[in-house]
Amino acid sequence: MEHSKLIELLKTFSSKELREFHEFAQSPFFNKNVELVRFYEHLRSLAPTFPPAKVEREAVFAVLYPQKPYDEKQLNYLNNFLLKLAEQFVAYGRFRQNELLERYQLMESYTQRNLDKHYQFVYGQTTKLLEEWPSRNLEFYQLQYLHADISNRHFLKQQIRRFDDRLQLAADYLDQYYLAAKLKYSCEMLDRKMSIAAEYEVRFADVVSQLVEANPQLQTPPIAVYHTLLNMLLDMGNAGHFNKLVALTERYKGSFPMEELKDLYSYAINYCIRRVNQGAPEFLDELFQQYLKSLEAGTLMDGGFLSPWAYKNLIGVGLRLKKFDWTEDFIRQYNDKLVPEARANALHYNLAELYYYKQDHDAALSHLNKVEFSDIYYNLDTKKMMLKIYFELDEIDALLSLLASFKMFLKRTKLISAANKVAYQNFVQALTLLARKERRVVPALEKLISSPEPIGDRAWLKQMLQRTPVY
C-alpha cells in the first residue's frame, strides 16, 4: 500500500488534519462504517512516515483481522472507501476555507425555500464580508459577480415589477471578472511560449485590449495590471510597458494575495533577464531592484524559507554589478533563511562565486571543494566554475582532466533537461577548443559561441577568446 493513492494523500496531511479527519470519519453523518474508523486509526498510528514494511497489505490486514486469513477483496474495499472519505474531507475543508462561497450556497437555499427573512440576514453578512475582503484580484470580482447574480435571482423570485440594480451589478462584475481572467490567461500563455515550445493560441487578446482601452471604468486593479503586462509581453522592446507594470504592481500590491503578487514580480524579473540576455545591460540594475522588491515583499519565500535559487540568482546579479560588500553581507545574513539541508552547499558555492569575481581563485577553490554534490545543479555549476578557474590560472592538466570527466558525466546523466544539457555540453566543447590555443580552431569556436543554441557563460567565453593568445 506504500504507493497507493490513499497513503500518498494521507502523507500530505498535517497533524491537525490527521486529527480532524479522525473526527470526520467518526461522524455518522459522513460515515457509518466502524471498520473504516479502525482502519484509519491504524494508518494514523503510522503517520507521518508510513514505514513501507508496516503498510504492506498483508501486515495491515493482520493488524485489523488477526484471526482471519488475508482477504485481498476486503482490504480493497476498506482502502477504496477510506480514500473516498478522505477526498470528501479534503473537498469539505477547501469549501470551508472560503466563507463567502458557503454563505452563497445558504442564500441559494433560503431563496428556494422562500425564507426571505433568513435570506436578508445572510445577504447582509455577505455584503459586509465582501466590503472587508482583503484583496481586489480576480477572485474578488468573481465573488462580487456571484453575490450580485444570486441577489438578482432572489429579486426575480419576489415578482416585483420595479427597477433593481442587481442585474446591472451582476453584468458589470461579470465583465470585470471575465476581462481580468482573459488577460491573465493570455499573459500566462505568452510567457510560456517564450520559455518552451508551446502551441498556445492567444485568442481575442486584441479585442479585449480594445475594450479595456475604450472603457476606463473597467480599469480595476487586475485589469490594469494584466492589460499592461499583456502589452509588455507583446512588445518586449518597449520599456515603457515594463515601467508602467512596475508602477502598477507597487501601487496595487495590497490588492493581490501573496501567490499572485509573487507571479507579478516574477514577470518583471523575467523581463529584465530577457532584456539583459538580448544585449541590454542597463536592465541588470533594474533586475537587481526587482529582486530586492520581491525580497522585501516576501515573495521569494516558499513555505517560510527563502528559495535557494532566488538566493543564488540575487547573489549572481549583485556580483555582476560588482556590489561585493553588499553581496557578502547578503550571503551570510540570508543563509539561515534557506531550508536547513541547503544551507551548507549554498554558503560555500556562493562564497566561492564571490571570491571568483574578486579574482581570489584560491579562496574560491577552497569553498568549491566543500560543496557536496547531492544537488545536481550545484554539482554542474561547481564543475563549471572550477573549469573557468583552471583556465584562468593556466592549469592545463587539471583543466583537461576535468573537461574529460565532465563531458562523460553530461553524457550519462538523466537528471537535467535536454536544453540545460546542451548548454553545458556546448560550454565544455567551446572551452576544449579554447584550451588548444590554436588559430585554426578560432572560426569554429566563434561560430559555436555566437550560435543561437544555448551555451553556458557565453559572455565569459567571448571575453576569454579575445584575451587568449593563439598560435
What's the pLDDT at 250?
95
Q: Who contacts 406 (Cβ-Cβ below 8 Å, separation ≥6)?
A: 383, 387, 424, 428
From CA 285, how far away is CA 291, in angstroms rounded?
A: 10
Encode pLDDT of 90-103 as tens digits: 999 999 888 899 99
CA atoms within 13 A on the CB side of 57: 15
Task: Provide the residue ranges of all domains of the chain, joining segments of one domain with +.
Answer: 5-97, 377-471
Mean pLDDT of 267-290: 92
From CA 145, how far away is CA 123, in angstroms rounded?
A: 14
pTM, entire model: 0.82
Phi-psi region of 115 (alpha: psi -120 to 50; beta: other; left: phi over 0): beta
Mean pLDDT of 406-420: 89
Report residue 269 as a C-alpha cell: 524579473
CA atoms within 13 A on the CB side of 76: 3
Confidence of residue 199 (pLDDT cuts 50, 70, 90): confident
What's the pLDDT at 175?
94
Confidence of residue 432 (pLDDT cuts 50, 70, 90): very high
Confidence of residue 418 (pLDDT cuts 50, 70, 90): confident
What's the pLDDT at 56?
94
Encode pLDDT of 255-265 as tens digits: 999 999 999 99
From CA 299, how far away is CA 72, in angstroms rounded?
A: 48
Report residue 440 as a C-alpha cell: 585554426
Query: For residues 308 and 336, is the Cβ–Cβ distance under 8 A?
Result: no
Mean pLDDT of 150-156: 93
Encode pLDDT of 34-77 as tens digits: 999 999 999 999 999 999 999 999 999 999 999 999 999 999 99
